[in-house]
Amino acid sequence: MDRKILEQEHKATGIKVFLASMDDIHIKHLIKLARDPILVNLMGWNTFFESDDTEQFIQAISSYTLPYSRKSQPLIFGVYLNPEDFPIGYAVLKGINIDLSTTEIGVAILDKKYRNKGYGKLGFKRLINYTFNQLHIQTIGAAVLLSNKFSINMCRNLGFVEREIMYKSWEMPNKELVDLAWMELTSISKQVT
Ligand SMILES: CC(C)(COP(=O)(O)OP(=O)(O)OC[C@H]1O[C@@H](n2cnc3c(N)ncnc32)[C@H](O)[C@@H]1OP(=O)(O)O)[C@@H](O)C(=O)NCCC(=O)NCCS
């Protein structure tokens, strides 16, 4: 079967990441990597799954929050440094609303040894370009915990603007209600290169 592989290079350093579909073994690998308490606080959901819980894991990474998001087939990619190797994270389009031409986006570098090295931003950038240029979706929304400053910075640096703070709109696994930032990028605003 043909495997779609999207590539993004950071010109200055030559670093590359690839987005590609994942088989079951690769998803199980991500499930193992996700068992990290730090991720629970950054993403706001319980990231601890049994290896066989691939369906539940896919549901968790595909869940959406923004008012325009709709039930639809999510587009899930593994983030790879080498498409023949195991993924280090995932990137997803979820809650796609064809009528309004909107989607929600999510990305995570689950392998902690590869965080803060530029890979997340590169993968995110590639998925944004794919969404605008190949899927012709016009609005990309991201719902980010207000406390997750890294992700908010990353979105801002890629041209997202804060559309709204959704106060106490997200329930953490410990039942605490916390604030979400609704970040948004449109195809007619600054294009990422
Ligand atoms: C958020 C995440 C995807 C970023 O990917 P990454 O590979 O770790 O980060 P990168 O090295 O690509 O850096 C991306 C941006 O994060 C921000 N960032 C990274 N390290 C930072 C730090 N120490 N302090 C502040 N901001 C930081 C910066 O804005 C950076 O962009 P810049 O280089 O233009 O300034 C990744 O850290 C992650 O998976 N975190 C947990 C899950 C998560 O929060 N997902 C986001 C939900 S939308």
Tell me the pLDDT of the chain averaged across its residues.
95
Helix (H) or strand (E) holding 166: strand 161-171
Domain CATH code at residue 107 = 3.40.630.30
What atom of ligand 1 comes closest to residue 106's alpha carbon? 48
**Residue 190 confidence (pLDDT):** 58
Average pLDDT over residues 62-71: 97
Q: How many domains, in total, are found in the chain? A: 1
175 assigned to some structural domain: yes
| DSSP secondary structure letter of residue 48 | -
**CA of 63 relative to ligand 1 center, distance in Å:** 21
**Residue 191 confidence (pLDDT):** 54
136 assigned to some structural domain: yes
Closest C-alpha residue for ligand 1 atom 37: 115
**CA of 154 relative to ligand 1 center, distance in Å:** 6
Count of residues making up the chain = 193
Of 150, 152, 184, the one to substitute when testing ligand 1's pocket (max ligand atoms within 8 A of C-beta) is 150
Average pLDDT over residues 29-56: 96
pLDDT higher than 80, residue 182: yes
178 assigned to some structural domain: yes
Higher pLDDT, 85 or 191: 85
pLDDT higher than 70, residue 193: no
In 3D space, the residue among 83, 34, 78 whose CA is nearest the CA of residue 56 turns out to be: 34
Banded model confidence at residue 89, pLDDT cuts 50, 70, 90: very high
191 assigned to some structural domain: no
Parent domain of 169: 5-186
Q: Does the Cβ of 42 fall within 6 Å of ligand 1?
A: yes
Of 69, 105, 154, the one to substitute when testing ligand 1's pocket (max ligand atoms within 8 A of C-beta) is 154
Q: Does the Cβ of 123 fall within 6 Å of ligand 1?
A: no
What atom of ligand 1 comes closest to residue 122's alpha carbon? 12
Contact by Cβ (8 Å): 142, 180? no
Q: Is 175 left (phi over 0), alpha (psi -120 to 50) or beta?
A: left
116 assigned to some structural domain: yes
pTM of the model: 0.94
192 assigned to some structural domain: no
68 assigned to some structural domain: yes
32 assigned to some structural domain: yes
pLDDT higher than 90, residue 3: no
